[in-house]
């Protein structure tokens, strides 16, 4: 199978390595608006750099879209026209109208599309999902989720990110749906820009929190912040009537306990986003190869991406209005 990779940046580089090493991938084609970047990445993995993205759709059997968000819809539409299975990094778009346009084309063409919510492939999140599904935790009563970036993004990124709920907390929203199998029906969200006032200039928030009512009667509390001095901290706790479990809690978790009998934290090196999730990135791409070969259905569909975006939209509206919001109003 010939796989075309669009985007030679940080995420594209991770996917390139997985694809180049995969026994089912005969050749890897790489394209980027920066031709030099594509050539360097291709050379690193004995792949082929192609002159333009259009060449990808003419030469490949499947396409991986790891380009900037504002190009995702265009490339998904092109994949649909070409009848190519596609992997697309999240989100499809930062607005529902564009998202629905892409989904309509995907469904009309009948192509398989897998979205890049990699936490579904993280071992901890998968075990939590299985424990909930099996009933071993009993009835889930409360879920908490946290995403703490190491440092704020460059200021130029803020106005095109879609905002904290769509750009940062959307991973927690998808993980919440994946782990619990339940849907948020009401959200009450808020946020702050303390110590990171630059986000205020663009109508964004640096630190956010959302309380959610789910359709099974349980509650969820999700939080996120753009700066954590100890490292990239992503966790989830699931509390049930029989048992409670934590995801992302180990000796390298970037949080310091002040209890006198707490085990020491391995703080030799900061945990970055790649250290935290590289195995999950590789596992999701392995899964996409199976999807592209027709051996399995998509484990994370465009409809899943849309559902997470709807909840993020509701969170943004709640934070702006200072009131709880029913998710169905944005669905």
pLDDT at 268: 72
pLDDT at 265: 84
Q: Give the count of beta carbons closer than 10 Å to the beta carbon of residue 34.
A: 11
CA distance linking residue 275 with residue 62, whole number of Å: 28
Sequence-separated (6 or more) residues with CB below 8 Å from residue 177: 183, 184, 304, 307, 308
E runs forming strands in the chain: 2-6, 27-31, 48-49, 62-65, 86-89, 113-116, 140-148, 184-192, 207-214, 219-225, 233-240, 244-247, 325-326
User: Which top CATH class is 2-111?
Assistant: alpha beta
Fold match between domain 2-111 and domain 120-281+307-329: no
Phi-psi region of 29 (alpha: psi -120 to 50; beta: other; left: phi over 0): beta
Structural domain spans, the chain: 2-111, 120-281+307-329
> Which residues of the chain fall short of a pLDDT of 70?
none
Using one digit for the tens of pLDDT, what is the confidence trace for 261-276?
998 888 777 889 999 9
CA distance linking residue 226 with residue 202, whole number of Å: 15
pLDDT at 331: 83
From the options 3.30.230.70, 3.40.225.10, 3.40.640.10, 3.30.360.10, give the CATH code of 120-281+307-329. Answer: 3.30.360.10
pLDDT at 309: 98
CA distance linking residue 216 with residue 183, whole number of Å: 8
């Amino acid at each position: 199978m010939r796989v075309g990779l669009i985007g030679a940046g940080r995420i594209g580089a991770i996917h390139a390595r997985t694809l180049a090493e995969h026994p089912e991938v005969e050749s890897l084609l790489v394209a980027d608006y920066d031709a030099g970047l594509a050539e360097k990445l291709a050379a690193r993995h004995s792949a082929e750099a192609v002159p333009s993205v259009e060449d990808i759709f003419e030469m490949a059997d499947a396409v991986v879209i790891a380009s900037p968000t504002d190009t995702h819809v265009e490339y998904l539409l092109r994949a649909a026209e070409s009848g190519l299975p596609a992997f697309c990094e999240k989100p499809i778009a930062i607005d529902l109208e564009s998202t629905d346009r892409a989904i309509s084309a995907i469904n009309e063409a009948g192509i398989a599309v897998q979205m890049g919510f990699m936490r579904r492939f993280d071992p901890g999140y998968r075990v939590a999902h299985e424990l909930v599904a099996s009933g071993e935790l009993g009835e889930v009563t409360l879920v908490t989720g946290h995403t703490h970036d190491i440092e704020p993004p460059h200021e130029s990124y803020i106005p095109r990110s879609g905002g904290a709920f769509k750009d940062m907390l959307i991973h927690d929203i998808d993980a919440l749906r994946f782990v619990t199998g339940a849907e948020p029906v009401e959200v009450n969200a808020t946020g702050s820009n303390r110590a990171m006032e630059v986000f205020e200039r663009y109508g964004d928030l640096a630190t956010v929190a959302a309380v959610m009512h789910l359709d099974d009667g349980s509650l969820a509390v999700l939080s996120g912040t753009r700066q954590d001095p100890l490292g990239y901290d992503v966790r989830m706790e699931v509390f049930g009537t029989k048992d409670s479990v934590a995801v992302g809690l180990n000796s390298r978790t970037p949080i310091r306990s002040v209890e006198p009998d707490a085990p020491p934290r391995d703080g030799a090196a900061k945990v970055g986003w790649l250290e935290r999730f590289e195995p999950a990135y590789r596992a999701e791409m392995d899964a996409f190869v199976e999807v592209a070969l027709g051996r399995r259905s998509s484990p994370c569909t465009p409809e899943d991406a849309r559902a997470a975006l709807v909840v993020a939209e509701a969170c943004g509206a709640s934070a702006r209005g200072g009131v709880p919001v029913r998710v169905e109003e944005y669905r």
